Amino acid sequence: MTPPLFTLPAVLDATRGRAEGVAAEAINSISIDSRELGPDALFVAIKGDRFDGHDFVDTALANGAAAALVSEGRSAGPGRIHVADALDGLRDLGRAARARSRAFIVGVTGSVGKTTTKEALRTVFEAAGQTHASIKSFNNHWGVPLMLARMPENAQFGVFEMGMNAPEEIRPLSRMVRPHVAVITSIAPVHLEGLGSIEAIARAKAEIFDGLEPGGTAVINADHGQLQLLLDAAAAAGVANVITFGFARGVDWQILDPQTDASASSATILHGEESYKLGLAVPGRHMLSNATAALAVAHLAGIAPEVALRALAGLAAQPGRGERLRLGPDDKPLLVVNESYNANPVAVVAALSVFGQIEPAGGRKVLVLGDMLELGPQADQLHAGLADAVRDSGAERIYLVGPHMAALAAALPDAVMAGHFPSAAEAVNVIVDDLAYGDALMVKGSNGVGLSRLVSAITTRFGQS
């Protein structure tokens, strides 16, 4: 019989809470969304940027929640567990889940590739044992404690993604997760608006080292200009072991002879005297890098290389992060490469490199790029700097969305510019009307631009085979 996630006494003990008319004896799931409740759910009424969970406590209980964790004085009635602050209570549950766990825990951060690397690790760990991993991009001040609190006591492996928009955000998350391995995927010009420089970005990512368990290991991508800063930060944090990976010479896990086409990629991975053949069913040098990080961590976890390599061979692109949709007839589909979740200069160039290898099924190559957000004063310059990569992609019709994309529009030939729109809402109908079966389309932009609605509209219009 599977033990409960938490018994009611364990919840009360961890949160120092007071139960009011709670009939449930156990909690088996935890949610912050009253519309998405698992079995025997504890609804945690946190206050977000747009909504306050306390406004939805009654709805959550009516929808079947076993109990609601609420801030003292904010909600009254049966089914409540009162704590000083609901978000702090969620953090307490996360710490309690971590304290009882014997799992091998990995924390992942970086400017690009966090979610994909987390998924690569999840894929490998699931081939070796009971695995718990963050879902979607739940990597912030409420996402990490939520994912940690959901970790079953019998999990053998745990993988947690950690993100940030400013300094001193990753440090408390890492101290809560207490990983045995901390992975930094890359350092790139992301969040410049809040951090000001790429060096500041590297220092903020290096905060993950502060939560490493004694004797823990840092696994660091070497293919960027901030490697020494990260190595120095790891040493200052007292990190016992540091492992590097990437395409650079002399790293501990070196990617050799990378091969990539429109649908797959492969490489030889050199580690000491050993070499391994890595084959992925997803394209791109960046995917080889993410998978190599997972291979290195698997080695630290004691997972046999053949098990890890076999699992990585089945790694799939995630929605919004390179997912491919083939819409319509098999002989002449509309191919949509959905990269609508995230964008920064490094990620866009990598995606365009992959798009350059794609051949449409008799139609045109159409490119939709949305603004890269949070780049600060350098935003226009960084957008204009994409021009060469856009030209090399072979795109025949280019749509740009967002005010900063005006700088890129000015750097591109008029012959390929199909339109520039201030917002996704203004672009959707025009772009959908221009597409046809046989075309190949890539959609890439920061999530806040809203290009996911374009992908939804395309899927609705053209149908998914």
Q: Are residues 279 and 203 in the same domain?
A: yes
Q: Are residues 276 and 347 in the same domain?
A: no
Per-residue pLDDT at 465: 47
Q: Are residues 340 and 389 in the same domain?
A: yes
Has 112 been labeled as part of a binding site? yes
Q: Are residues 303 and 176 in the same domain?
A: yes
Has 123 been labeled as part of a binding site? no
Domain termination residue (choose one: 87, 113, 147): 87
Q: Are residues 109 and 82 in the same domain?
A: no
Residues near 269 by beta carbon (within 8 Å), at least 6 away in sequence:
253, 254, 255, 256, 275, 276, 277, 278, 292, 295
Per-residue pLDDT at 70: 98
Has 7 been labeled as part of a binding site? no
Per-10-residue mean pLDDT for the chain, 465 residues long?
91 98 96 93 92 96 97 96 98 98 98 95 98 93 97 98 95 98 94 88 97 98 97 97 97 97 95 97 95 98 98 91 93 95 93 95 97 94 97 97 97 95 97 97 96 96 75
Does some domain include residue 92?
no
Per-residue pLDDT at 392: 96
Does some domain include residue 336?
yes
Domain termination residue (choose one: 284, 312, 340): 312
Has 118 been labeled as part of a binding site? no
Has 109 been labeled as part of a binding site? no
Does some domain include residue 318?
no
Q: Are residues 141 and 283 in the same domain?
A: yes
User: What CATH number is associated with residue 231?
Assistant: 3.40.1190.10
Q: Are residues 170 and 225 in the same domain?
A: yes
Has 110 been labeled as part of a binding site? yes
Does some domain include residue 94?
no
Q: Are residues 23 and 150 in the same domain?
A: no
Per-residue pLDDT at 418: 96
Alpha-carbon distance of 154 to 3, in angstroms, equals 9
Per-residue pLDDT at 12: 98
Q: Are residues 107 and 82 in the same domain?
A: no
Q: 420-442: b or e for each residue (b if 16 or more CB lie within 10 Å)?
A: bbeebeebbeebeeebebbbbbb
Does some domain include residue 1?
no
Per-residue pLDDT at 464: 53
- How many structural domains comprise the chain? 3
Does some domain include residue 317?
no
Q: Are residues 246 and 113 in the same domain?
A: yes
Q: Are residues 127 and 70 in the same domain?
A: no
Does the pTM exceed 0.85?
yes
Q: Are residues 17 and 137 in the same domain?
A: no
Does some domain include residue 170?
yes
Has 185 been labeled as part of a binding site? no
Expressed as residue numbers, the domain containing 15 is 6-87
Does some domain include residue 95?
no
Domain termination residue (choose one: 87, 112, 142): 87
